[in-house]
Amino acid sequence: MIESQPLISVIVPCFNEEDGIAMCHERLSAVLSGITEAYEIIYVDDGSRDRTAELLRSFHQADPRVVVLRFSRNFGHQPAVSAGLDAVRGQAVVIIDADLQDPPELIPSMLELWRKDYQVVYGVRVNREGETGFKLWSAKMFYRIINSLSDVEIPLDTGDFRLMDQAIVSAFRQMPERHRLLRGMSSWIGFNQIGLHYERSARFAGTTKYPLRKMLGLALDGIVSFSTIPLRLVTIMGFAAALLAFIGIVYSLVVRLVTHSWVQGWAISFIGMLFMSGTQMLCLGVLGEYVGRIYTESKQRPLYLLREVLRSSQPRP
Ligand code: UDP
Ligand code: MG
């Protein structure tokens, strides 16, 4: 059997990227054609309300290696990448943003490391041009908080720009959780991982699609899905309340037994109140530990819904 070239898949999540997507497609296609003929580009249109879908359709018509998945509405960046991961067929899979902040020209170096038996090659941003001081600060705090709260270590200054082997992709497909932070899940999966440094440039066109609200959501997902420490804090609070109650109990007993400054029935109601509220807090904390775990898994909703799939049945290998 003739050994065929490995297929390279590239996933590009797009949300209202009409200004930059053509340039992105051009640069990406140029880089990929320079490496191999065997590639596919999967554009995921995350419910864009501008001309993005139209442009993506024209890319697909011009090149059968372009696959387009369209969401029924805006589901978010992480579900968009997940949809791409569900659809890819390549042996090596690259995730890249549509705004050209991550240079497609890095893909050949990533592939080289992949051939040297690294299953994940993640981009590490050395400098981040064109981003506000607040964004840089909040991103730094984000990684610091997640890493101090959770069991997995997410490498500093990484985003979702990365190359992954098909083994990693199939591991992703086995992780059905609803709230996802791909870069954290990718660390959790293991295998051989390596960072590749690069300069992150400013957005090629358009504005950021990650306003503060979405960034906070991503941060919360990261913390909650990789750590149960917030729930544990409630339990610790319960213990603290119970301890305070205990001190109060000793105090009121001393006042009751040793001094004369007490009112009839005062001690027992004080003791009762402190004891009950302390134990209630403790129980709430313990319950919270369980409810939190059940809640995240119980809804079982699909991560995204597709409105349209453009994929040629006979792709050029
Ligand atoms: N994106 C998406 N859905 C969203 C928000 C963003 O698919 O709800 C895409 C966006 O089109 C881009 C990538 O995710 O390709 C990263 O978004 P952006 O560049 O706005 O984030 P930033 O680089 O500012 O963190
Ligand atoms: Mg960007």
Domain shared by 125 and 157, yes or no: yes
Q: How far is the CA of 84 from the centre of ligand 1 (A)?
A: 14
Q: Is residue 82 part of a domain?
A: yes
Same domain membership, residue 17 and residue 125:
yes
Identify which ligand lies nearest to the alpha carbon of 49: 1
Q: Are residues 20 and 93 in the same domain?
A: yes
Q: What is the pLDDT of residues 44-74, one digit of tens each?
A: 999 999 999 999 999 999 999 999 999 999 9
Mark whether 244 and 157 lie in a shared domain. no
pLDDT tens-digit map of 249-285 = 888 888 888 888 767 777 778 778 887 787 787 777 7
pLDDT at 293 > cutoff 70:
no
Ligand 1 atom nearest to 76, measured from its CA: 8
- Same domain, yes or no: 191 and 138: yes
Q: With bands split at pLDDT 50, 70 and 90, how would you rate the model's confidence at 163? A: very high
CATH number (domain holding residue 222) = 3.90.550.10
> Residue 196 is encoded by which pair of tokens?
């590749």
Residue 213 and residue 196: Cα distance in Å, rounded?
Answer: 29
Structure tokens at 224: 């909650």
How do 8-14 and 39-45 pair as beta strands?
parallel
Based on the domain organization, do 211 and 241 belong to the same domain? no
Position with higher pLDDT, 264 vs 38:
38
Residue-level pLDDT at 226:
67
pLDDT computed for residue 3 by the predictor: 55
Q: Nearest bound ligand to CA 97?
A: 1
- With respect to residue 25, please indicate whether it lies within any of the assigned structural domains: yes
Kindly give the number of the ligand 1 atom that is closest to the alpha carbon of 13: 7
Is residue 162 in a domain? Answer: yes
pLDDT tens for 240-259 read 878 888 888 888 888 888 88
Parent domain of 80: 8-227+302-310
Cα gap 290→267, rounded to integer Å: 35
Per-residue pLDDT band for 114 (boundaries 50, 70, 90) equals: very high
| Domain tally, the chain | 2
Return the DSSP state at 123: E
Residues 214 and 236 in one domain: no
Whether 90 and 164 map to the same domain: the answer is yes
Q: Are residues 132 and 146 in the same domain?
A: yes
H/E stretch holding 241: helix 229-258
Overall average pLDDT of the 185-190 stretch = 84
Residues 220 and 243 grouped into a single domain: no
pLDDT at 316 over 80: no
**How many of the other CB atoms lie within 10 Å of CB of 66?**
26
Same domain, 169 and 262: no
CA of 209 to the centre of ligand 1 (A): 5
User: Do 162 and 95 form a contact (C-beta atoms < 8 A)?
Assistant: yes
Residue 19 has pLDDT above 70, yes or no: yes
Distance 98 CA to ligand 2 centre (A): 8
Q: Which of 16, 50, 99 to mutate for ligand 1's pocket (most ligand atoms within 8 Å of CB)?
A: 99
Residues 178 and 164 in one domain: yes
Tell me which of 144-148, 166-170, 205-209, 301-305 is least confident. 205-209
Query: How much of the chain, in percent, has pLDDT values that exceed 70?
Result: 91
Residue 231 has pLDDT above 50, yes or no: yes
316 domain-assigned: no
Ligand 1 binding pocket (C-beta < 6 A) is 13-15, 17, 46, 74, 76-77, 80, 97-99, 101, 208-210
Q: Is the residue at 315 inside a domain? A: no
pLDDT value of residue 2: 47
Half-sphere exposure of 73 (CA within 13 A, CB side): 2
In a domain, 205, yes or no: yes
The residue whose two tokens read 């990365």 is 162
In-domain check, residue 285 = yes
C-alpha–C-alpha distance, residues 168 and 191, integer Å? 8
For residue 242, is it within any domain? yes
Query: What is the predicted pLDDT for the residue at 263?
Result: 73
